[in-house]
């Protein structure tokens, strides 16, 4: 419990850092990667979706602007599991993913992709502010210079994911 409290404090501080003017602000992509890390911390996957000792696979296309910042997370662990980055190009590449980060480059093919994800315990995170937020579990966006996120808790439950109440309280919007 002490770990969760400390992590929650770190997440709250990251939110504060993203909203405060500093001489050297946190780069946007690094801040988004920190959010992704915390989304993993505050999400519970069903046990059958993660065999014992397996990593948490974060999937994103190699040309996603967040790729380098998210790849830096591979040195971290969440609940005793290491984070692994798995690149994808086609929907079939998403097998074995636990989180998928989508951006504006995925918008045109999203309807095709989401059909293949039905029933998967997959945390879908969108970094596309123009995307339809109802389709993704978490949508990040810049709002008046601040990084915010929305959570579609109904979609999370359909994916058999449990999003922590702590994370829901920090969301700008919860559906």
Summarize pLDDT for 46-75 with one digit per residue, the tens: 999 998 889 999 999 999 999 999 999 998
pLDDT of 77 over the 90 cut: yes
Contact 86, 97 (CB under 8 A): yes
- Per-residue confidence at 9, pLDDT binned at 50, 70, 90? very low
The pTM assigned to this predicted structure is 0.84
Q: What is the mean pLDDT of residues 66-88?
A: 94
Closest CA to 25 of 150, 145, 125, 127: 145
For residue 23, what are the contacts with CB-CB under 8 A and spacing of at least 6? none
Q: Report the CATH number that the domain containing residue 127 is assigned in CATH.
A: 3.40.50.2300
**Number of domains the chain contains:** 1
Range of the domain at 80: 2-174
Averaged pLDDT of the chain: 85
Q: What is the largest CA-CA distance in the chain?
A: 46
Distance CA 52, CA 70 (A): 23
Please indicate whether residue 105 or residue 32 has the higher confidence score (pLDDT).
Answer: 32
> Residue 1 — very low, low, confident or very high, per pLDDT cuts 50/70/90?
very low
């Amino acid at each position: 419990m002490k770990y969760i409290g400390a992590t929650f404090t770190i997440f709250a501080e990251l939110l504060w850092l993203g909203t405060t003017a500093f001489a050297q602000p946190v780069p946007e992509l690094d801040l988004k990667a920190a959010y992704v890390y915390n989304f993993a911390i505050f999400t519970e996957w069903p046990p059958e979706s993660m065999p014992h000792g397996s990593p948490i696979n974060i999937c994103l296309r190699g040309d996603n602007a967040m790729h380098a910042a998210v790849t830096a997370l591979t040195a971290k662990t969440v609940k005793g599991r290491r984070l692994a980055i798995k690149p994808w190009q086609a929907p079939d590449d998403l097998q074995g993913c636990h989180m998928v980060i989508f951006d504006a480059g995925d918008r045109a093919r999203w309807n095709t992709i989401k059909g293949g994800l039905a029933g998967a315990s997959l945390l879908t995170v969108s970094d596309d502010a123009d995307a339809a937020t109802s389709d993704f579990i978490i949508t990040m966006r810049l709002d008046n210079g601040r990084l915010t996120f929305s959570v579609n808790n109904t979609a999370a439950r359909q994916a058999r994911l449990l999003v922590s109440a702590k994370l829901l309280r920090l969301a700008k919007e919860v559906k």
